[in-house]
Amino acid sequence: MLSEAASTIRPVGPDGFGVAGLMAKVGLTHGGFYAHFKSKDDLVAQAITQMFEDSNTRFQARTTGHEPAEVLAIFLDYYLSVRHRDTPDRGCPLLGLSGDLARMPAPARERFAEGASRLTGLITGLLERLEKPEPELLATSVVSEIVGAVADPARSAQILAASRPALKARLGLT
């Protein structure tokens, strides 16, 4: 149920879906919702955790067995791609939910912050292994840039094409 909730919430945000519709999608009654969750806010918070877990699982599947520089290149190639941009139901929660963050309840914001921190930490670890100076600061910058690059729909193709090689060059991956 959480995977379905995660893919429903990603493209429309936490206010863009109804509990009854989601429960119908998973074959449960609206009344059965409360057997699983305290409230819609609880569902959203748990779904955000699921989104980050799903993204991490896909990341690990793509990069296991690769050296740190290859992992970063694979990550940037995927993240800064039209394919990633055009699949909001499976994409990074940072993209789909950043604009909704200020209006989310505290538990959902906390789960979002934990997921963002985990992604930044993963990139920090790779940069440390590559012996980059100030890896945590650089990782924070990378995460901000990749989210910004995909988030501008009007100039997306141009920004994606420019960001991918620029980030790779800055990280010494070319």
Q: How confident is the model at residue 143 (pLDDT cuts 50, 70, 90)?
A: very high
Both structure tokens of 19? 């509990």
Comparing 22-36, 55-69, 84-98, 149-163, the range with the smallest average pLDDT is 149-163
- Which of the four pLDDT bands, split at 50, 70 and 90, describes residue 9? very high
Is pLDDT above 80 for 128?
yes
pLDDT at 152 over 80: no
Q: Looking at residues 95-117, what average pLDDT do you find?
A: 93
Selected residue with higher pLDDT from 124 and 21: 124
Give residue 45's pLDDT: 96
Nearest CA among 163, 155, 150, 154 for reference residue 95? 150
Query: Is residue 109 predicted with pLDDT exceeding 90?
Result: yes
Residues 6+ apart with CB under 8 A from 161: none
Q: What is the pLDDT of residue 25?
A: 87
Structure tokens, 38: 């305290």
Mean pLDDT of 152-172: 85
Q: Domains of the chain: which residue ranges?
A: 2-170
- pLDDT tens, residue by residue, 22-77: 888 888 887 778 888 999 999 999 999 999 999 999 999 999 999 999 999 999 99
Q: What is the DSSP string of 61-80?
A: HHHTT--HHHHHHHHHHHHT
Q: What is the dihedral of CA 34, 35, 38, 39, to 10 degrees?
A: -30
Between 4-8, 103-107, 145-149, 163-167, the lowest mean confidence (pLDDT) is in: 145-149
Q: How confident is the model at residue 151 (pLDDT cuts 50, 70, 90)?
A: low
d(CA 164, CA 174): 11
Specify the CATH number of the domain 2-170.
Answer: 1.10.357.10
Give the integer Cα–Cα distance in Å for 14 and 79.
23
Whole-number mean pLDDT of the chain? 91
